């Protein structure tokens, strides 16, 4: 380095006006306040709608709750206007959702793994689109297809399960073995409908798996399945659980498939293969609400409130579980 140039004498800058910093305060000017108010209002509209739903359901279900007391949730005797036991229908909603989940969960996890880890990269986007499309097909089309086609396809399965697997209580049929549109068929349709939900959430969580850990597993000589089993699946366990819960929530609220396929008998039974399985709450409302007298409508609203509360709870827990898995990776 050469010698530095001799330092120039310091000339203070000419100051005609003192330097006043410009105060940048986004969000506090008049128009900004108005803008924030509009935003807040539209956010509140959504909240108000939810509040109104809860309020209206509570107010309109009050007469039935007053009449039956707690009996509505502990009895499965649905014979309005004297008795409003919704345990049968609630049990039906839960049973349909659980059977659907048993089928949908492994299939969804497999699909998520396939899209993320097995399929060629250039098909990945396309396959995600196909799964999304599965979620977009209207539920009435699924229900109609289940009624018209799937119940025929599954007829042999039902007979076979009844003959060979009836040692499992779930597969026992009522004494008169007529197989038809059963909870089993219904659950299969619902399973198809919740597969995209579980798959997309599972896939999203799986794609967050740190690549270095995966590569480390492979570099240590692990097989691909070893990597998936020991790294990806444990990492995304929370996401899978959250996805499963969201699937349950969706399955419990599903109306049209149950309405079309099940001829409902609202007593509690665990025979999923019989023709008269349980209905579900949503199907009960959809079928009977309009023709019913006021007090029965009130009871149906009470059933709706129960369903609403249950799905709300399940959804909140599911979101919490999924977001916890988000936080873990962060």
Partner 1 sequence: MSTTFEPGPAHRGTPETPASADRPNRRQRIPRGMAAELGGAAASSFALMWLIFAITDPGQSAFGFFVCWLLGFFLIFAIVAWRLHGVLLMKDRLGTVAVWGGSFVALLPLVVIIIYVIIEGSQALFAAFPHFFTADMSQFSGQTPIGTAGMGAAIVGTVEQVALTTLFSVPIAVLAATYLNETRGAMANFVRTVVDSMTGTPSIIAGLFVYLFWVEPRGVNGKSGLAAALALTVLMLPFVTRSAEEVLTVVPGSLREAALALGAPQWKVVVKVVLPTARTGLVTAVILGIARTVGETAPVLLTTSASAHFNWNPFHGIQSNLPLEIYSLIVSPGTNSTKVAWGGAFVLVLVVLTLFTLARILGSSRTGHRSSPWRRLTRQAAPS
Which CB sits closer to partner 1, 85 or 249?
A: 249
Which CB sits closer to partner 1, 93 or 269?
A: 93
Report whether 231 contacts 209 (CB < 8 A). Answer: yes
Alpha carbon 156 to its chain's center: 30
The stretch near partner 1 (CB under 8 A) out of 33-41, 79-87, 94-102, 167-175 is 33-41
- 30 φ, ψ (degrees, to nearest 5): -55, -55
Contact with partner 1 (CB under 8 A) among 205, 241, 307, 321: 307
Q: How far apart are CA 126 and CA 111, in angstroms?
A: 13
The 153-172 site mask, x for binding partner 1 (CB under 8 A), equals: ---xx-xx---x--------
Burial of 23 (0-12, 13-18, 19+ CB in 10 A): exposed
Q: For the segment 184-243, give every residue that binds partner 1 (CB under 8 A).
A: 192, 195, 199, 223-226, 228-229
The answer to whether 113 contacts partner 1 (rule: CB under 8 A) is yes
CB of 101 to partner 1, least distance (A): 14
Q: How far apart are CA 195 and CA 200, in angstroms?
A: 9
The stretch near partner 1 (CB under 8 A) out of 13-21, 73-81, 112-120, 236-244 is 112-120
Which CB sits closer to partner 1, 61 or 68?
A: 61
Contact with partner 1 (CB under 8 A) among 96, 109, 206, 262: 109
CB of 18 to partner 1, least distance (A): 20
Give me the count of residues in the chain.
330
- For residue 91, the tally of other CB atoms under 10 A from its CB is 20
- 79 φ, ψ (degrees, to nearest 5): -135, 75
> Could you give the angle at which helices 30-68 and 294-329 cross, rounded to 10 degrees?
130
Q: For the segment 79-108, give every residue that binds partner 1 (CB under 8 A).
A: 106-108
Q: Which helix (H) or strand (E) covers residue 79, if one does?
A: strand 78-79
The answer to whether 301 contacts partner 1 (rule: CB under 8 A) is yes
Which CB sits closer to partner 1, 18 or 138?
A: 138
Q: Residue 176 to residues 7, 138, 187: CA-CA distances in angstroms?
A: 107, 35, 22
Contact with partner 1 (CB under 8 A) among 72, 254, 273, 276: 254
The 257-276 site mask, x for binding partner 1 (CB under 8 A), equals: ---x----------------
CB of 82 to partner 1, least distance (A): 23
Report whether 277 contacts 262 (CB < 8 A). Answer: yes
Q: How far apart are CA 26 and CA 94, in angstroms?
A: 50
CB of 224 to partner 1, least distance (A): 6
Q: Tell me the three state secondary structure of residue 165.
A: coil
The stretch near partner 1 (CB under 8 A) out of 2-10, 67-75, 142-150, 177-185 is 142-150
Q: For the segment 120-139, give every residue that binds partner 1 (CB under 8 A).
A: 125, 129-134, 136-139
Which CB sits closer to partner 1, 172 or 250?
A: 250
CA angle 321, 323, 325 (to 5 degrees): 75
Q: How far apart are CA 38 and CA 44, in angstroms?
A: 10
Which CB sits closer to partner 1, 41 or 328?
A: 41
């Amino acid at each position: 380095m050469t010698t530095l140039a001799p330092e120039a004498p310091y000339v203070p800058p000419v100051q005609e006006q003192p330097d006043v910093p410009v105060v940048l305060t986004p969000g506090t000017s008049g128009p900004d306040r108005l803008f924030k108010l509009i935003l807040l209002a539209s956010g509140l509209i959504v909240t108000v709608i939810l509040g109104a739903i809860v309020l209206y359901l509570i107010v309109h279900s009050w007469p039935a709750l007053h009449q039956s007391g707690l009996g509505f949730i502990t009895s499965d005797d649905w014979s309005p206007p004297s008795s409003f036991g919704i345990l049968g229908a609630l049990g039906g909603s839960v049973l349909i959702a659980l059977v659907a989940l048993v089928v949908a969960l492994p299939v969804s996890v497999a699909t998520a793994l396939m899209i993320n880890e097995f399929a060629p990269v250039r098909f990945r986007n396309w396959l995600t689109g196909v799964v999304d499309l599965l979620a977009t097909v209207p539920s009435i089309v699924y229900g109609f297809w289940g009624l018209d086609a799937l119940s025929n396809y599954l007829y042999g399965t039902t007979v076979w399960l009844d003959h060979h697997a009836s040692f499992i209580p779930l597969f026992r049929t009522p004494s008169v073995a007529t197989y038809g549109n059963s909870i089993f068929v219904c659950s299969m349709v619902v399973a198809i409908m919740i597969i995209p939900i579980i798959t997309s959430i599972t896939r999203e969580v799986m794609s967050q798996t740190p690549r270095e850990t995966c590569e480390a597993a492979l570099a240590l000589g692990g097989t691909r399945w070893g990597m998936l089993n020991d790294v990806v699946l444990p990492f995304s366990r929370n996401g899978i659980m959250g996805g499963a819960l969201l699937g349950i929530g969706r399955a419990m609220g599903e109306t049209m498939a149950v309405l079309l396929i099940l001829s409902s008998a609202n007593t509690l039974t665990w025979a999923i293969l019989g023709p008269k399985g349980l209905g579900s709450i949503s199907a009960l409302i959809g079928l009977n609400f309009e023709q019913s007298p006021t007090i029965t409508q009130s009871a149906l609203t009470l059933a709706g409130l129960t369903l609403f509360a249950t799905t709300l709870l399940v959804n909140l827990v599911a979101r919490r579980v999924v977001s916890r898995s988000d936080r873990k990776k962060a």
